[in-house]
Amino acid sequence: MKNSGMTPTERRAAVSLAGIFSTRMLGLFMILPVFALYTEHLEGATPFLIGLAIGIYGLTQAILQIPFGMLSDRIGRKPVIYGGLLIFALGSVVAAMSDSITGIILGRALQGGGAIAAAVMALAADLTREEHRLKAMAIMGMSMGVSFSISLILGPLFDSWFGVHGLFWMTAMLALVAMAILALAVPTPTVSRFHRDAEPVPAQFKNVLGDSQLLRLDFGIFVLHLILTAIFVAVPLDLQNKAGLASEHHWMVYLFVMLLSFAGMVPFIIIAEKRRKMKQIFVGAIALLIVAVLSMSQVSTSLVGMVAALLGFFLAFNLLEASLPSLVAKIAPADMKGTAMGVYTSSQFLGAFTGGVAGGWIYQHVSAEGVFIFCGFMASLWVILASTMKAPRHLGSYMIHVGPVSRAQAVELSGEIATVVGVVEVVVIPEDEVAYLKVDNQRLDQDALARFSVADPDAQDGHPSAPVTANS
């Protein structure tokens, strides 16, 4: 079976939507490595309120991202995305014009209120055929990872040039850039419809929240982003006040550790996927995370020691950040991936909020070392849960556009598709006109699946839909 490749519209959609995600990510996270240093310049600032300001975006984003995604099903994707970006820009302006910690907390809350992630994912699904949707999502995911890393480097650099207020003004400008990308580069879909591989289904929440294996992963992303946000209440201050590194040079540390950690994670990703050692690598990365954050509590007066601990932390963080979504896709039932990812993403944002609040409170009432010990404790709980999870099946997600079928035909078609070599799980949803599969990539007979696909009259650029290439 031949794969026609992504159409120009699909490539344009993937790249332009990745650009929207990236610009927004830059705006949210450039403040992360520098804001704790700004305490003395803000009226009413305390470490607790600094932590709240850093993490508050996660609370509003967790609350609103699923409702905004559902709203986009009713009024359209682009209006919701424009509205979210406008709220994000407004929050950035409020923070830029504030001289008090209260004003910045309000601004950061508004930034998180521009919760467009679910709507952007739904728009990406509208603009791509089933066979290439995972590629588009992967492009967007990689862009967010790169953007986060760049934000840690650019934040201290731009802070030394423009200050924190300047960073917030830049963030507002980035929101306008994202709106321009949406207007000028993102195609408008001919048809918008619901996609259960990219959007949550309310009726499925009970099943997803009752799955102990998925809950382990939700707890994991919660803890990972709790730790990320909490340590940045303390790390910038330790680098400056204890290790003696001026704030304008912090970007050099982040550049060094991010480059080495990205290079270092590649062999482990290959071993996890190719040699099917996912659980071992995953649990090992959590163990490394524990060692790294506990080391920070002991080496804060040594620049070399802090750089080494940060290198270990980001090596573990990048491995876990890449592995967790893949594990959710492997474990979630074939037709519940969108719901599972919605819960997972909300857990991530709640972790960021909790980490900021807890990190700030512990720094104020205990010490910086207390922050790191707390993070080590949370990671220890995680490693216990992760070590008891079932080894994930190394299966890929696969979708076929099957066209209009009745419920009786869907049941019959499911049985026929299930006989294909390599197909492990199949659910045909008549309302979606799609068969959702879990497959063993190494055994899958793709040619045998070709006869089950039909042309999709709503496909972008007039290209028919066809079976997807199996992917994790």
168 and 40 housed in the same domain: yes
Question: Which element (helix H / strand E) includes 426?
Answer: strand 423-429
Tell me if 335 is assigned to some domain: yes
Tokens of 135: 């590629």
Q: What pTM does this model have?
A: 0.91
Nearest Cα to Cα of residue 316 among 241, 247, 264: 264
How confident is the model at residue 380, as a pLDDT? 97
- What residue spans of 33-76 are helical by DSSP H? 47-75
If asked whether residues 168 and 226 sit together in one domain, one would say no
The verdict on 333 and 446 lying in the same domain is: no
pLDDT value of residue 460: 54
Q: Are residues 188 and 269 in the same domain?
A: no
Q: Which domain holds residue 289?
A: 213-393
Q: What is the pLDDT of residue 470?
A: 36
Same domain for 280 and 362, yes or no, is yes
State which of 199, 226, 251 marks the end of a domain. Answer: 199
Are residues 235 and 317 located together in one domain of the fold?
yes
CATH number at residue 37: 1.20.1250.20
6 domain residue, yes or no: yes
Q: Do 386 and 402 belong together in one domain? A: no
pLDDT attached to residue 464 = 38
Low-confidence ranges of the chain (pLDDT < 70): 1-4, 39-40, 455-472
List all residues 6 or more positions away from 2 whose beta carbon is below 8 Å from its beta carbon. Answer: none
Domain-embedded: residue 207: no
In a domain, residue 125? The reply is yes
Q: Tell me if 438 is assigned to some domain.
A: yes
Question: On the CB side of 85, how many CA atoms lie within 13 Å of its CA?
Answer: 26
Asked if residue 107 belongs to a domain, the reply is yes
Q: How many domains does the chain have?
A: 3
Q: Choose the final residue of a domain: 166, 199, 232.
A: 199
Distances 74 to 102, 194, 222 between C-alpha atoms, Å:
35, 10, 30
Q: Rounded to an integer, what distance in angstroms lies between the CA atom of residue 402 and that of residue 426?
A: 12
For residue 2, being part of any structural domain is answered with yes
Residues 428, 400: Cα–Cα separation, whole Å: 9
Q: Look at residue 299 and tell me if it is in a domain.
A: yes
pLDDT tens digits, residue range 55-106?
A: 999 999 999 999 998 999 899 999 999 999 999 999 999 999 998 999 999 9
